Amino acid sequence: MAPEHLIPKDPLAFIRRCVKLNKLKWTYHVNMRMKGRFISRQAILNSFEEYEIIEEYPKDKYFPSYLVYSYFQDKIFHVLFAVDIEEDDVRIVTAYYPDPEEWKKDFKTRR
């Protein structure tokens, strides 16, 4: 059975603060995926004020995680953040451009 992880009182504020203060870890997965998806680290880092949580996964395997909608220079993308309260940081698990076939026009709601 997976251990219970601490969940931030305000997940969005926690994620934004960690990104702003560079308290983050880039997973191997995101590093490999971002190369082919052409989403820059700067886009993720510079758009933290635009973040909006669109899905929550409080019981994810390793840490509670949150799918975040954001945009940078008119390009919309999603980032999956895992939050680690004890280490006071976030892990960037993956980032991608949402597929219009899977998301409604707002790119915040799944079809």
Q: Do 85 and 8 meet the contact criterion of CB atoms below 8 Å apart?
A: yes
Quick: pLDDT tens for 56-84: 999 998 999 999 999 999 999 999 999 99
Quick: pLDDT tens for 5-18: 899 999 999 999 99
- How high is the pLDDT of residue 38? 77
Domains of the chain: 11-96 (3.30.2310)
Measure CA of the first residue to CA of the last residue in the chain; give whole Å: 32
